[in-house]
Amino acid sequence: MKVIIVGNGGREHTLAWKILQSDSVEKVFCIPGNGGTANLPNCQNINLKMNDFDGIAQACHHHQVSLVIVGPELPLSQGIADRLKEKNIPVFGPDKKGAQIEASKSWAKQLMVEAGIPTAASAGFTDKNAAIAYLKSKSAPIVVKADGLAAGKGVIVATTIEEAIKAVENLFENNYCQLLIEEFLEGEEVSILAVTDGITIRPLIPAQDHKRIGEGDTGKNTGGMGAYAPAPIVTPELMKTIETTILQPTLDTLKKRGIDYRGILYAGLMIDKQGKAKVLEFNCRFGDPETQAVLPLLKTPLDELILACVEQRLAQLPTIKWHSQTAICVVAASGGYPDVYAKGLSITGIESAESIGVTVFHAGTDIQNNQLVTSGGRVLGVTAVGENFAKASSLVYEAIQEIKFEGIYYRQDIGHKVKNKA
Ligand code: AMP
Ligand code: GLY
């Protein structure tokens, strides 16, 4: 089988690496891919834009590709799955209607309310003055969310009402004219990536990522500075509750709306002190960098899992199998990220890091004049697997020291919330 993976991040490098381990997968094409996928055996980058759906469909026919896996939310929300399905190309990822679960926070919230899913109480606004008047009747902390995709910049957790009002003004100035004001939830965040064929839904192992740039989860939000799996805060009992009170009812409600959702449903949850889970957000795709920590532990061949979803026979697939180990991914970022940073800096030490026993997934890398260089804010995701958290952690931090590029920055505390590390 030949597979196309759409995207150019660490998540897509991980998907390509993992699916190539399946005996039945002979070749992977990444559109457009990155420096890591360019060098992966049996993998080839195709230089097309992710929104060039006709070009992608042509590449499928030209290379006799029988499965497309879509990484990022943007092409999904623009209808890549709809277009490929029209041309009878099997695709893993929801269609445009289903992708609204990530692309429109108010749409997702309405769905949650309709399905009776535990989530923060909220109110929707399209009028700035009404939003401000509402805020004046509330107390902080409080959360302001822009409705559409905003590349991680659309959520403001305000610690004062003045800050929340400023956030509302800013969003309207930047043409985000639909927003949600939401109750602040306290607790620990986890990411549940679940695979679904539109009828059945099964969670992968729980993961936790670290969105803030600074140690101790401080500073600005980023795309994610590291992740680990499984996250022990999600006990098997809690996972069962998440399945029955969040995942299945969400899928059933999507179905009721006429949406045939085949792909990943990613639930971003807040777990409170009593161990109760509430939904912060849904995403319509694999998490990044959660994927870099989850997939290395997957024993069931990835192509079998994905095809069972695409062909709507997930219920017949045996239980998903996992290695009983822990995986940690630490993101090496460009100095200055998530603000301005330099690009085109040469990267060394990957082979030497890998010789210590880690896998280095590329996120923002490129090859220029035969030299691997930085091309994004998050550059690499160094991933270690160990028999427990402590072993995986010491391995990842030993190996990452081998990697060098000017200004390299990574957090030293990925997984700091794990209590029992042995
Ligand atoms: P979202 O894109 O909705 O997941 O929001 C991004 C981040 O903002 C989340 O990962 C949380 O850290 C934070 N956040 C979102 N909603 C809430 C909430 N209701 N209470 C507390 N924090 C939140
Ligand atoms: N790691 C967060 C996300 O993928 O949205």
Report d(CA 292, CA 228) in Å as an integer. 8
Report the chain's mean pLDDT, rounded to a whole number. Answer: 96
Q: Which of 183, 218, 236 is the last residue in one of the domains?
A: 183
The helix (run of H) or strand (run of E) holding residue 93 is none
CATH number at residue 129: 3.30.1490.20
- Answer yes or no: is 106 within a domain: no
Q: Note whether 353 and 284 are same-domain residues.
A: no
- Answer yes or no: is 105 within a domain: no
CA 354 to centroid of ligand 2, rounded, Å: 25
- Answer yes or no: is 75 within a domain: yes
Predicted local distance difference test score (pLDDT) of residue 53: 98
Question: Given the structure tokens 């990022």, which residue do they identify?
Answer: 72
Q: Which ligand is nearest to the CA of 280?
A: 1
**Pocket lining for ligand 1, CB < 6 angstroms:** 120, 143, 145, 155, 157, 182-185, 189, 211, 268, 280-281
Could you tell me if the CB of 288 is within 6 A of ligand 2?
yes
Could you tell me if the CB of 33 is within 6 A of ligand 2?
no
DSSP for 227-261, written as a single string: EEES-TTS-HHHHHHHIIIIIHHHHHHHHHTT---
Predicted local distance difference test score (pLDDT) of residue 153: 73
Report d(CA 79, CA 74) in Å as an integer. 9
Task: Give the residue-averaged pLDDT of 298-312.
Answer: 98
**CB-based contacts of 340: which residues, under 8 Å, 6+ apart?**
none
Report d(CA 354, CA 116) in Å as an integer. 47
CA 289 to chain CA mean position, Å? 6
Q: Note whether 194 and 290 are same-domain residues.
A: yes
Domains held by the chain: number: 4
Report d(CA 279, CA 271) in Å as an integer. 9
Q: Note whether 6 and 64 are same-domain residues.
A: yes
| pTM of the predicted protein model | 0.96
CA 268 to centroid of ligand 1, rounded, Å: 8
Q: Which of 297, 316, 335 is the last residue in one of the domains?
A: 316
CA 290 to centroid of ligand 2, rounded, Å: 7
pLDDT tens digits along 342-374:
999 999 999 999 999 999 999 999 999 999 999
Q: Evaluate if residue 264 carries a pLDDT over 80.
A: yes
- Answer yes or no: is 111 within a domain: no
Q: Which of 36, 61, 95 is the last residue in one of the domains?
A: 95
Q: Note whether 238 and 194 are same-domain residues.
A: yes
User: Ligand 1: which atom is nearest the Cα of residue 154?
Assistant: 2
Q: Note whether 81 and 19 are same-domain residues.
A: yes
CATH number at residue 240: 3.30.470.20
Report d(CA 154, CA 284) in Å as an integer. 17
- Answer yes or no: is 110 within a domain: no
In degrees and rounded to multiples of 5, residue 408 shows phi and psi of: -50, 135
Q: 3-class DSSP state for residue 134?
A: helix
Predicted local distance difference test score (pLDDT) of residue 175: 85
Query: Which structural domain range is residue 342 located in?
Result: 326-421
Q: Note whether 305 and 247 are same-domain residues.
A: yes
Could you tell me if the CB of 287 is within 6 A of ligand 2?
yes
Report d(CA 20, CA 6) in Å as an integer. 15
User: Ligand 2: which atom is nearest the Cα of residue 286?
Assistant: 4
Q: Note whether 353 and 411 are same-domain residues.
A: yes
Helix (H), strand (E), coil (C) string for 51-102: CCHHHHHHHHHHHCCCEEEECCHHHHHCCHHHHHHHCCCCEECCCHHHHHHH
From 157, 210, 283, the mutation candidate for ligand 1 (largest count of ligand atoms within 8 A of CB) is 157
Predicted local distance difference test score (pLDDT) of residue 221: 87
- Answer yes or no: is 338 within a domain: yes
Nearest to 326 by CA among 398, 383, 382, 385: 385
Range with the poorest average pLDDT among 23-37, 169-183, 293-307, 369-383: 169-183
Q: Note whether 340 and 410 are same-domain residues.
A: yes
User: Ligand 2: which atom is nearest the Cα of residue 283?
Assistant: 5
**CB-based contacts of 62: which residues, under 8 Å, 6+ apart?**
none
- Answer yes or no: is 101 within a domain: no
pLDDT tens digits along 372-404:
999 999 999 999 999 999 999 999 999 999 999
From 104, 112, 144, 155, the mutation candidate for ligand 1 (largest count of ligand atoms within 8 A of CB) is 155
Nearest to 21 by CA among 257, 281, 297, 289: 297
Q: Evaluate if residue 151 carries a pLDDT over 80.
A: no
Predicted local distance difference test score (pLDDT) of residue 152: 66
Beta-bridge partner residues of 188: 271
Q: Note whether 217 and 306 are same-domain residues.
A: yes
Predicted local distance difference test score (pLDDT) of residue 173: 92
Beta-bridge partner residues of 281: 268
Report d(CA 201, CA 116) in Å as an integer. 18
Predicted local distance difference test score (pLDDT) of residue 91: 98
- Answer yes or no: is 360 within a domain: yes
Predicted local distance difference test score (pLDDT) of residue 149: 78
CATH number at residue 390: 3.90.600.10
